[in-house]
Amino acid sequence: MPRSKERLDKLLLERGLAPTRAKAQAMIMAGLVRIDGTPAEKAGQLVSPDLTLEIVEKETEWVSRGAKKLLKALEVFGIDPSGRVCLDVGASTGGFTEVLLSRNASRVYAVDVGYGQLAWKIRTDPRVVVMERTNARYLNRESFPTPMDLIVVDVSFISLRLLLPPLLDILKPDGEMAVLVKPQFEAGKDRVGKGGVVRSSQVHREVLEEFVDFVRGLPGITLAGLTWSPIKGPSGNIEFLAHLSRIPRGGEFSGSMKEMVETVVFQAALALSGNPDRAGKEKGIDT
C-alpha cells in the first residue's frame, strides 16, 4: 500500500535537507527545491514520499551554470566521483570539474580545445590537470598515466558519435560516463531551426533514439540511464543527459527504448517549455 502524501516542507525536514521547517519554506520560495527535477510550487504542496527531492545551489555558487547539469546527472544516475580519477571533456570555465572536486574526486583532467577559459580557482587546484588546446577526438591511452574511472562530457559543435569511440578506449573496465546529448549538434542541419535551436519534441525523440542505437553498437558499454538537463543551453535548446556504464547496473531501464525516450522527452518539454503537447506537434524546422 503506497504511503500517503506529505507536506513538502515537512518532508524536507524529515529527510535532513533543511535544518528547520521555516528554512525549508524559505528554500522552496527561493526556487531551490526540485521534485523529481521539477521546481517545487509551494511549501504546503502535498507530495509522495517516494519522489526524489533535490536542493539546487544558487547559480553564483558555481563557476558555471553548467554545473547544474552534472549535479543532476550524479543524483539521478547514482554516480559517486569520490576517490576516482575523472576526465572532464569540454571543461570550458570548469563547471563540471568543480562539481567533481566538490564530490571529492581524487584527480580531474580538464580537457578543452580552447585556451584560458578555466576559472582560476579550478586551474590552481592541485587535483586538476589542465589540458588546454586539446582536441578530445585524438585522446588515447598514451594521453594519460592511468585509465579513467569516470568521464563527463559537455561539448559543442561536434557529435558524440565522433567522441565516444576514442573516449571508451581510455575508460577503465568498470568505468562509467555521464554525457550531455545536444540535439542541435546531433540532428543535422535539415532538422535544426533558426538560430541553431531545435524546438520540436519529435526531433528530440529521433535524436535520442538514434543516440541509443549508436551506443548499443559500441563494444563493452551499455546505456544505464537517460534524463533531461535541468537547464537549457545558451540559445534555449533543451538538452539531455545519458549515463553509460561498462558494468550492467540494476538501475538500467527495463522497458522499451521508445518508452524511455518518450518519457524523458515529455518530461523535458513539460518542465522546460511548459507545453509538451504543443512541442510534440511542432515540425522539425522553424522557418
Q: Rg of the Cα trace of the chain?
A: 19
Q: At what angle do helices 257-272 and 201-216 cross, to 10 degrees?
A: 140
Tell me the residue type at 222.
T
Residue 231, all three cell numbers:
537547464
What's the CATH number where 37 sits? 3.10.290.10
Based on the domain organization, do 101 and 43 belong to the same domain? no
Would you say residue 260 lies in a domain? yes
Total number of domains in the chain: 2
Would you say residue 286 lies in a domain? no
* High-pLDDT (> 90) share of the chain, %: 48
What's the CATH number where 100 sits? 3.40.50.150
60 vs 263: which has the higher pLDDT? 263
pLDDT above 50 (res 279): no
Q: What is the mean pLDDT of residues 66-74?
A: 91
Based on the domain organization, do 39 and 95 belong to the same domain? no
Query: How far from 63 is each of 67, 92, 152, 229, 245, CA to CA, in Å?
Result: 8, 10, 17, 18, 28
Tell me the residue type at 241.
L
Based on the domain organization, do 108 and 184 belong to the same domain? yes
Give the Cα separation of 265 and 271 in Å (integer).
10
Based on the domain organization, do 250 and 215 belong to the same domain? yes
Would you say residue 259 lies in a domain? yes
* High-pLDDT (> 70) share of the chain, %: 88
> What pLDDT score does 86 carry?
98
Would you say residue 249 lies in a domain? yes
Confidence label for 242 from pLDDT (cuts 50, 70 and 90) = very high
Would you say residue 1 lies in a domain? no
Confidence label for 235 from pLDDT (cuts 50, 70 and 90) = confident
Would you say residue 87 lies in a domain? yes
> What pLDDT score does 258 carry?
80
Range of the domain at 16: 6-56
Based on the domain organization, do 128 and 266 belong to the same domain? yes
Give the Cα separation of 31 and 29 in Å (integer).
5
The model's pTM is: 0.74
Q: What is the torsion angle, in degrees rounded to the nearest 10, for the CA atoms of residue 171, residue 175, residue 178 and residue 181?
A: 50
Confidence label for 57 from pLDDT (cuts 50, 70 and 90) = low
> What pLDDT score does 271 carry?
80
Confidence label for 80 from pLDDT (cuts 50, 70 and 90) = very high
Based on the domain organization, do 197 and 228 belong to the same domain? yes
Q: Which of 38-52, 136-150, 273-287 ranks highest by mean pLDDT?
A: 136-150
> What pLDDT score does 96 carry?
95
Based on the domain organization, do 76 and 15 belong to the same domain? no
Question: Among 56, 73, 90, which residue terminates a domain?
Answer: 56
pLDDT above 50 (res 285): no
**Residue reference for cell 588515447:** 140
Based on the domain organization, do 265 and 235 belong to the same domain? yes
Confidence label for 274 from pLDDT (cuts 50, 70 and 90) = low
**Residue reference for cell 574526486:** 105
Would you say residue 122 lies in a domain? yes
Confidence label for 125 from pLDDT (cuts 50, 70 and 90) = very high
Based on the domain organization, do 120 and 225 belong to the same domain? yes
Based on the domain organization, do 72 and 133 belong to the same domain? yes
Query: What is the 3 state secondary structure string of the chain?
Result: CCCCCEEHHHHHHHCCCCCCHHHHHHHHHCCCEEECCEECCCCCCEECCCCCEEECCCHHHCCCCCHHHHHHHHHHHCCCCCCCEEEEECCCCCHHHHHHHHCCCCEEEEECCCCCCCCHHHHCCCCEEEECCCCHHHCCHHHCCCCEEEEEECCCCCCHHHHHHHHHCCEEEEEEEEEEECHHHHCCHHHCCHHHCCCCHHHHHHHHHHHHHHHHCCCCCEEEEEEECCCCCCCCCCCEEEEEECCCCCCCCCCCHHHHHHHHHHHHHHHHCCCHHHHHHCCCCCC
Q: What is the mean pLDDT of residues 239-252?
A: 80
Based on the domain organization, do 237 and 195 belong to the same domain? yes
> What pLDDT score does 160 carry?
93
Q: pLDDT digits over 164-206, tens only?
A: 999 999 999 999 999 999 988 887 777 766 667 777 888 888 8
Confidence label for 287 from pLDDT (cuts 50, 70 and 90) = very low
Q: Which of 31-35, 56-60, 210-214 ranks highest by mean pLDDT?
A: 210-214
Would you say residue 145 lies in a domain? yes
Based on the domain organization, do 50 and 108 belong to the same domain? no
> What pLDDT score does 24 carry?
83
> What pLDDT score does 2 carry?
59
